[in-house]
Amino acid sequence: MFMEDADHHFASLTVAPLSPLSASSPDDLHASPPSFLPSAAITTLSKPQKTKKKRKATYVLRKEEQSALQQEIEQLESQVAVLKSRSLPPEEAAKADPVLQRREAENAALTSLLRHQQLHVANAQALLSSVVYATP
């Protein structure tokens, strides 16, 4: 279908010789586009104009690069810690990993807080039961 349209479109065109000998002057070689293409085809063959993107500021690019590199550093440090901990026994592996140490400390603090709250609730219940049984 496309070829039929192209044949129909270019059927009425005449082909001029492209020989430099047929040009009357050197300016004729570069003065106009070849006559075998219609002027409408020349404008459609040109590249479409791209809209230029606004360029990012240098400090923004450096800041983005810095954050990307920082994330990569954290990931690589984590991988190194994992590889080191594989060769250690489980008790020593937990001590070697700073993330696990931090989590263990948080867990210990929360457990301690929970036990103290339970102790306070038990003391309050004991006090209430002693008051209830003491009064006739």
Residue 127 lies in a domain: yes
Q: Tell me which of 34-48, 81-95, 109-123 is least confident.
A: 34-48
Would the pTM of this model clear 0.75, i.e. be above it?
A: no
Task: Tell me the C-alpha distance between 107 and 99, whole Å.
Answer: 12
State the DSSP string of 9-63: HHTT--PPP--GGG-SSHHHHHHS--TTS-HHHHHHHSPPPPPPPPPPPHHHHHH
In this prediction, residue 29 has a pLDDT band, given cuts at 50, 70 and 90, of: low
61 and 77 both lie in a single domain: yes
Residue 7 lies in a domain: no
Q: Name, in order, each residue with C-beta under 8 angstroms of 104's C-beta and a sequence gap of 6 or more.
A: 94
41 and 64 both lie in a single domain: no
Residue 126 lies in a domain: yes
Structural domains in the chain (count): 3
102 and 84 both lie in a single domain: no
127 and 101 both lie in a single domain: yes
In this prediction, residue 43 has a pLDDT band, given cuts at 50, 70 and 90, of: low
Task: Tell me the C-alpha distance between 22 and 35, whole Å.
Answer: 13
Residue 6 lies in a domain: no
Domain boundaries, position 128: 97-136
Residue 3 lies in a domain: no
- For the segment 16-31, the average pLDDT, to the nearest whole number, is 53
